[in-house]
Amino acid sequence: MLTTRFAPSPTGFLHVGGLRTALYSYLYARKNGGKFLLRIEDTDLKRNSQEAVVAIREAFNWCGLDYDGEVTYQSKRFDLYKEYIQKLLDEGKAYKCYMSKVELDELRAAQEARKERPKYDGRYRDFTGTPPSGIEPVIRIKAPLDGVIEFKDGIKGDMKFNCADILDDFIIARSDGTPTYNFCVVIDDALMGVTHVIRGDDHLSNTPKQIILYEALGFKIPEFFHVAMINGSDGSKLSKRHGATDVMEYKNMGYLPEALLNFLIRLGWSHGDDEIFSMHDMLEFFDPHDINKSASTYNLTKLDWLNAHYIKTLPYERLADDMKYFGLDFRAINKGELLLDSLRERSKTLLELKNSALNIINEPEIYDEKALAKFISDEAKALLGEFKDELGDKDLSAKEYEEMTIAFLDNRGKKLKDIAQPIRIAITGGTVSPSIFEIIEVIGTQKLKSRITKLLSK
């Protein structure tokens, strides 16, 4: 069965680049009826954070990425790793290295003087003497001394690494007995049945080491897909100065998970000229073999465009639910659905939608001075006063308010432009809003009259 995994380290929030990797892995597994697993790589006990684990799972829940089975925690598998380290020792495929810090410093100084790449020289590879006292050994794998390691990367194509150039007998267990990253990854991926590993290309240099371990342990080597990084608009690695990197920060800024996932899948993958991808579309079209080799560029303008699209098209009930997160319950607002529908066309984020709604629901405390100077003349005030007196007391529909207003203006030889902005300023304090007749229906006749009276008193 095709099986993928996402394996973050819980040292902070879930990075959007990590979410992209998770999405690619999720889609490939689900498309092929396989398994998608979540593993927390928490062997670094000093840097791990339980809050980070919670943040990772919270981000998955928000984005709707479900995983199969229970979450695997590496910190609970140390006994398992020790068994396999001992297996390699017993088979002569690994050995104890008693190199002291003094020896290591001397070796590196000599290599630097010769302008050589720092590299362990294998001095304890075949050691059979008496171990030096006072030194707890590390465990090193017996790596090949020559030859090449080759594999076909699903994105980058044929890869070849010369053993003599890139490898030494790297450490698989530290002097305190804790296993190293590459060793744990190989054990876990093999025993969890992972068949396809999709990860960032910053892991490419780890792959030859991991292949050595797969072969030493007799495990089947999975297929690898190394995804190019996401760059900021200036070409450098994506960081906070380019935009938010924490997945949940996007939720707080008013982005929808559909928009964020749509945005991320297009950072390195495409399907013709299509831009909009629902989860159904992603599952139908995505193939990791089609991921671009080159780095992608983060573009917040594109995310805003996608988010605006989903705000316009998602059902009212769904948006009303999401808006509760921002403390605004449209179901508790008079004409809440009308208000939301009138605002969704001009909102790029849910925060913008919230602020626009409050600008209509709440009576203005201040007015745009430029708007007052431009639109609230003595003539406009007189027209507004007459309009208020003709409103009556009954609440009407937007269409009825429009018909009444047009008749009012026709009787005075006026046009809609003569009163539209003054009404808008009276309601919101400014000149930007949806159709004035829709927002009048939302607030009702009495509140409209009250706001006109307030404006005229200025």
Q: Binding site residues, as ranges?
A: 240
Total Cβ atoms within 10 A of residue 271: 16
Whole-angstrom distance, CA of residue 5 vs CA of residue 8: 10
The phi, psi pair for 39, rounded to 5°, reads -125, 135
Whole-angstrom distance, CA of residue 75 vs CA of residue 77: 6
Beta bridge partners of 95: 140
Whole-angstrom distance, CA of residue 232 vs CA of residue 249: 17
Q: Are 241 and 232 in contact (CB under 8 A)?
A: yes
Total Cβ atoms within 10 A of residue 120: 20
Whole-angstrom distance, CA of residue 230 vs CA of residue 295: 6
Q: Is 157 left (phi over 0), alpha (psi -120 to 50) or beta?
A: left
Surface-to-core class of residue 42, CB atoms within 10 Å of its CB (0-12 exposed, 13-18 middle, 19+ buried): buried
The phi, psi pair for 13, rounded to 5°, reads -70, 170
Distance of alpha carbon 345 from its chain centroid, rounded?
Answer: 25
Q: Measuring CA to CA, which residue among 128, 111, 129 is closest to residue 120?
A: 111
Q: Are 75 and 45 in contact (CB under 8 A)?
A: yes
Whole-angstrom distance, CA of residue 358 vs CA of residue 353: 9
| Contact partners, residue 135, CB within 8 Å, separation at least 6 | 98, 100, 175
User: How far apart are the two ends of the chain, measured CA to CA in Å?
Assistant: 73
Residue 87 appears among annotated catalytic residues: no
| Contact partners, residue 9, CB within 8 Å, separation at least 6 | 40, 41, 42, 44, 47, 48
Determine which one of 76, 237, 240, 312 is catalytic. Answer: 240
Whole-angstrom distance, CA of residue 11 vs CA of residue 2: 29
Q: Are 247 and 19 in contact (CB under 8 A)?
A: yes
Binding residues for ATP: 240
Whole-angstrom distance, CA of residue 298 vs CA of residue 184: 32
Whole-angstrom distance, CA of residue 406 vs CA of residue 396: 14
Catalytic residue numbers? 240
